[in-house]
Amino acid sequence: MNAEPRRLALILGYSFQSIELFEQALTHRSAGTLNNERLEFLGDALIGFLIAEVLSEKFPDANEGTLSRMRASLVKRESLAELARKLKLGDYLRLGAGELRTGGHARDSILADALEAVLGAIYLDGGFTAARQVVLALFADRLNATSATQSGKDPKTQLQEWLQSRRRALPEYVVVTVAGDQHNQSFTVRCQLSDALIYSLGTGSSRRRAEQSAAELMLEQIKI
């Protein structure tokens, strides 16, 4: 592990009673038998329920299909991985030698699973109320930006429609870097607005995913 896990707990705003449970949540299966897979299972269910609860309260007139699409967008692998990157979660992971060599600390699937595991560990360590506070704080910006009319639309489409509705120029997407082996590449894409001095950088396992990530981050900037 490259960084002290208590630093991550401080960022999350939660103090673990069992640091061993926290360390288990940060341990990938490649690093040993006592790993985060079961905690990931628990955290996945926890996040899904809490996001569903908030969306149900926030959009009382939305039907089941719309609520399901909004939840799916918020809890999909790419969204969780992006949240994990903001926390620099990859710096705290325990990985086996093979995963370390292939850049597992930056892979969407490993980051998303680890975030779910950490939240599952918080639930076991501190109970439902503590876990709820951490989950809602993590997702606060994304929940505030969620719209029933935009549900089901990917971030690039949302950004394009937002700009067109204001008669602004469409963004330009440029690949900044491509890292990793050919079978396990990581793309970084810059989303640039020609009529404003702002840009965003998105990452993903493909150019398309990186563009979607960059568009999502740009939407967060311009809506603020």
Calculate the dihedral angle through the C-alpha atoms of 88, 90, 91, 96, rounding to the nearest 10 degrees.
170
**Rounded CA separation 206/87 (Å):** 22
Q: For residue 195, indicate whether it is catalytic.
A: no
Residue with tokens 């979660």: 89
Nearest to 139 by CA among 157, 159, 119: 119
Tell me if residue 44 is catalytic: yes
Of the residues 78, 99, 108, 116, which is catalytic? 116
Question: Token pair of 35, please?
Answer: 């790993």
Give the H or E element holding residue 47: helix 37-58
Please check if 195 is assigned to a binding site. Answer: no
State yes or no: 113 annotated in a binding site.
Answer: yes
Q: Which of 44, 82, 99, 125 is catalytic?
A: 44
CA separation for the pair 123, 73 (Å, rounded): 23
Question: How far is the C-alpha of 174 from the C-alpha of 53, rounded, in Å?
Answer: 38
**29 neighbors 100 (Cβ within 8 angstroms):** no
b/e per residue, 8-21, with b = 16+ CB within 10 A? bbeebebebeeeeb
Distance of CA 139 to the CA centre of its chain: 9
Using the structure block, give the residue that is written with the tokens 């109970």. 127
| Cβ 118 vs Cβ 22: under 8 Å | yes
Q: Is 116 annotated as a binding residue?
A: yes
User: Binding site membership: which residues?
Assistant: 40, 113, 116
User: Binding site membership for Mg(2+): which residues?
Assistant: 40, 113, 116
Residues forming the active site: 44, 116
